[in-house]
Structure 1
Amino acid sequence: MNKTLDKMIELVSKVSSESEYEEELSGDVRFVEDLGLNSINVIMLVTLMEQEFNLSLTSRLEALLGCPSINSVTEYIDGLLVNNE
């Protein structure tokens, strides 16, 4: 597993602690369909991601909202980190 994915799973577990999802989190888990995250959870997750990865993501919310799973957000974040954005 890559480092970004490990960190994303950790962050998602913080905001989804009240979720009824009973399986272990993995990259394939979808934010809305599987975890039932609401808009407040998403804002909390984006804030945690900004802090963890030292990125400004508020201008990229539309792109992030198009990422349905932990894997897709991980790929997006990795792309930003590689390009030093």
Structure 2
Amino acid sequence: MINPKLVELLVCPENRTPVQEADAALIDKINAAIAAGSLNNRAGKLIDEPIEGGLVREDGLLLYLIRDDIPVMVIDEAIPLEQVS
């Protein structure tokens, strides 16, 4: 689990809005889409490995991955959440 104090300091690198940790239900939906082979990152690359967590931008449009408890705040690696129903 990522340190909550770190999450408070982080912002979306694209629009500088706050992020919050994704809940388990969203992570489950994302992992189901990954398993179905239907999820791409912002750069268009197919995501083929389940994720352990993520940070959701305040407007709910993007999720930044958390890998090994480290947030990956790279815009092109973010997951556009409109792909997840």
Q: TM-score, normalised by structure 1?
A: 0.28
Higher helix share: 1
* Greater RCO structure (CA 8 Å; 6+ sep): 1
Q: TM-score, normalised by structure 2?
A: 0.28
Higher strand share: 2
